[in-house]
Amino acid sequence: SQLRRNVLRITGLTTNEYITYLRLTHAKRELVCTQKSIKQIAYESGFSSAYYFSRCFHQHENMSPKEYRHINRVL
């Protein structure tokens, strides 16, 4: 419970929200910098399925992982 309180105090996010934020940050970097499939990125980022990853990603970024990759692609 102390960890939960400290994470909330420092980040303003619950522990689960912060973990999701970290996973999505990792996934966004991978989408832009690699050629890995979205499914592979989802699993490597700690999501239980590509579907759940896509749903979370869309909720936070208001676009699909594929759209994000297309818009932010590093040449």
**pLDDT, tens only, 12-31:** 999 999 999 999 999 999 99
Dist. CA 45–CA 56, nearest whole Å:
12
* Per-residue model confidence (pLDDT) at position 21: 96
Dist. CA 11–CA 18, nearest whole Å:
8
Predicted TM-score (pTM) of the model is 0.88
Angle between helices 50-61 and 65-72 (to 10 degrees): 60
Dist. CA 25–CA 9, nearest whole Å:
20
* Per-residue model confidence (pLDDT) at position 75: 56
